[in-house]
Chain A
Amino acid sequence: MSTTDDDTLPGIPNVGKADLDAMVENERPDPREELADVEADTDLGVAMAEDAQRVARGELTGDQYWEKYDEAAADEFGEAYQETPNPAVDAGDQTVSTGTAESLSCAVGSMDTVAAESAQVEGEEPDGGIGAGDEKWGMVIDLQKCVGCDSCTVACKSENRTPPGVSYNVVMEEEHGEFPNVTRTNVPRPCMQCDNPPCVQVCPVSATYKMDDGVVNIDYDRCIGCRYCIIACPYGARYFDFGENYDDEVDEAGELTSPEYGVDRGPREEGKSPIGNVRKCSFCTHRLERGEEPACVETCVGDARNMGDLENPDSDVAQMADSSRAFQLKEDEGTDPNVYYLK
Chain B
Amino acid sequence: MSTQSSRFEFDPGFEDDRLRVAWYAVVGVLVAVGAYATYLRITGGMATTNLTSIVPWGAWVAFYIYFVGLSAGAFLVSTMANVFEVEGMHRIDRDALFAAIISMAVALLFVWIDLGRMDRMYFPFIWRQLTSALSWEVHAYVAYIGILVTELYFSMRIDLARIAERTSGLRQTFYTALALGRLDTSEGSRSFDQRWLKRAGIVGIPLAIFMVHGGTGVLFAVSKARPYWNSGLFPVIFVISALLSGTALVMVVYVLRTRLFDGDSVDPDLLDRLAQLLIGFIIVDAALTAIETFIAIASVHPHEIETWQVIMYGPMSWSFWWFMVGFSWVFPMVLLTKKAWRRTPSVMVLAGLSVVIGIIAVRFNIVVPAQIMPVMEGLPHGAYFPTLVEWGTSIGMIGVGLLLYTLGAETLPLTPLTGGDH
Contacts and interface: CB of A to CB of B under 8 A. Distances in A.
Q: Mostly helix, strand, loop or mixed at chain B's interface?
A: loop
21 contacts: A165-B53, A172-B377, A172-B378, A187-B378, A202-B131, A202-B223, A205-B123, A207-B127, A223-B117, A226-B115, A227-B56, A227-B116, A228-B219, A232-B222, A236-B53, A240-B51, A240-B116, A243-B46, A273-B117, A276-B115, A277-B116
Interface of B: 45-47, 51-54, 56-57, 114-117, 120-121, 123-124, 126-129, 131-135, 137-138, 219, 222-226, 371, 374-379
A204 B116 contact: no
B112 to A, nearest CB: 10
Contacts of B374: 236
Contacts of A198: 223-225
A224 interface: yes
A204 B225 contact: no
B127 A205 contact: yes
A43 B13 CA distance: 101
B123 A224 contact: yes
A29 B224 CA distance: 59
A69 B219 CA distance: 69
Given A198-B224, A240-B56, A244-B47, A329 B132 contact: no
A189 interface: yes
Contacts of A333: 224-225
Given A165-B53, A235-B376, 11 more contacts: A172-B376, A172-B378, A202-B134, A204-B135, A207-B127, A224-B124, A226-B115, A228-B134, A232-B224, A238-B53, A240-B116
A114 B137 CA distance: 49
Contacts of A53: none
What are the 8 tightest A-B residue pairs by CB atom distance, in nearest-first order? A225-B116, A172-B378, A276-B116, A204-B135, A234-B225, A227-B56, A204-B134, A239-B53
A52 interface: no
A165 B133 CA distance: 28
Nearest to B122: A224
A224 B135 CA distance: 12
Interface string A197-241: 010011111110000000000000011111110111111101111
A242 B46 contact: yes
Given A201-B131, A242-B47, A224 B116 contact: yes
B1 to A, nearest CB: 57
Interface in A155-187: 165-166, 170, 172-174, 187
A271 interface: yes
Contacts of A225: 46, 115-117, 120
B379 A230 contact: no
**Max chain B CB contacts within 10 Å: which of A166, A226, A234, A273?**
A226
Contacts of A17: none
A277 B128 CA distance: 17
A222 B116 contact: no
A304 interface: no
Q: From B53, B127, B134, name the one whose CB has the most chain A CB atoms within 10 angstroms.
A: B53
Nearest to A273: B117
Given A202-B134, A204-B129, A205-B129, A224 B224 contact: no
Contacts of B127: 205-207, 222
A235 B129 CA distance: 22
B51 A226 contact: no
A275 interface: yes
Nearest to B375: A236
Contacts of B121: 224
Nearest to A201: B131
A286 to B, nearest CB: 22
Contacts of A233: 225, 375
Contacts of B224: 198, 232, 234, 333
Interface in A250-275: 270-271, 273, 275
